[in-house]
Structure 1
């Protein structure tokens, strides 16, 4: 019995329309496909408009939300090496979005803070990004969008504990 067009569409790749029924329940594949959508939205709403890479936006947002954090804590939070964090922080410092000051409690480390320009940029960028994602996910109900975000957060937190 031939598949209905509805089922055939559900079992195809989002672009290119290749059969992908065997990948339907492979979480990594589904996350990658969703990542393509989110990256496209990010680049349109934030990346191109504000000249920020996704990781730079994330680092700036975390610094703005956690004043006086250190590069070590950022590296741990993002599961990246300290040299990578240092490189990204340097880019943000050079653009006047982040300031680095010696720590009062540990002379070997620095505290990071968003500048007024950095805080304003991250606020505008986040507002644009949330609106862009809402438009891209308009085919999901508000409850489904909340559930998706909660499940992804739960997945990430659970994986961090393993």
Structure 2
């Protein structure tokens, strides 16, 4: 879970899209406690059903890339430790919230941002942009560093997380 959330947070850092906090929390409400996580962004009162300005559309594009970065970091983890990669369905199931948010944002881009209404095209185009942004070892090193700090239920603010990332 820490790798997934760190993937989002590092993408936010690289895209200069500040978040409120990144956290992994232990869910005590189940028979076997599990870790869950979250990176909280200030949406500024944005309404996905309202008309978007060009600036809002650019932010939506960045937010979709950030949402995709959690799955991307998980894939890198699987490759790093030579664990067979999960299929796309398993990754999507693990990141259901991310997938729902991507759909909402992509729908908004299609309605108001001049994008075609093909959700697969929007996602794949922004995935390609993300792949270009996170190519190379730097991204993975930052993800590992941040995941190591938030692992086990720790929460970091934007300032705390960026201090960790800048010290790497």
TM-score by length of 1: 0.30
The structure whose Rg is larger is: 1
TM-score, normalising length from structure 2? 0.30
Greater relative contact order, per chain length (Cα 8 Å cut-off, separation 6+) = 2
